[in-house]
Amino acid sequence: MGNVMKARDLVLIEGLEVRTVIGIYDWERDIRQTVRLDLEMAWDISKAGKSDDIADTLDYKAVSKRLIDYVEASSFGLIEALAESCATIILTEFHVPWLRLKMSKPGAVRGSENVAVLIERSA
């Protein structure tokens, strides 16, 4: 009778802004610019929903702190490369099975509010 879709719980981090060295132009290598991360991370929250214990869930504060520390210390030319590195950290260090990550560089193109890449990755 068709496929039954399994429920997918998500832990979200939205609008995480970090200042970093990002860009390919000489002037961009001498300043810090803001990048914005929006994350959707697959995680079964049912155990934490029953226990009400942080040990049973994906600690979004720990994920955020790790990404902030990494991005602040990084120096990439492209947001594509930074997005891939951030995705790898989340998948490997936090054992997230699937994620969607949007990496934005607000104001990168004159006349636009934002430019971004959106990637989905699985462990």
The reply to whether 50 belongs to the active site is no
How do 75-76 and 10-22 pair as beta strands?
parallel
Q: Name the residue type at position 22.
A: I
On whether the CB atoms of residues 70 and 103 are closer than 8 A, the answer is no
Q: Is the dihedral of CA 24, 25, 30, 35 positive or negative?
A: negative
* Candidate list 47, 50, 61, 105, residue with the active-site label: 105
First to last CA, the chain: 30
- Residues marked active site are found at 105
